[in-house]
A = this chain, B = another copy of it.
Amino acid sequence: MNNKVAVFRREHFNAAHRLTNPKWDEAKNNAVFGKCNNPHYHGHNYELVVKVSGIPDPQTGYVMDMKVLSELVHDHIIERFDHRNLNEDCPEFKSLNPTAENIAVVIYNILRPLINEQLDMQVRLYETERNFVEYPAS
**CB within 8 Å of B: which residues of A?**
1-12, 14-17, 19, 21, 32-36, 38, 40-45, 53-54, 56, 59-63, 65-67, 70, 82-85, 88-89, 96-102, 104-105, 120, 128-138
Contact = CB atoms under 8 A, between A and B. Distances in A.
Given A41-B41, A42-B85, A54-B137, 20 more contacts: A4-B135, A5-B137, A6-B138, A7-B132, A7-B133, A8-B133, A10-B131, A16-B16, A19-B61, A32-B65, A35-B83, A38-B83, A38-B89, A40-B84, A41-B43, A45-B45, A45-B128, A61-B101, A62-B99, A70-B130
A133 B99 contact: no
Q: Is the interface of A mostly helix, strand, loop or mixed?
A: mixed
Contact of A6 (B11, B60, B133): B133
Number of copies: 6
A42 B14 contact: yes
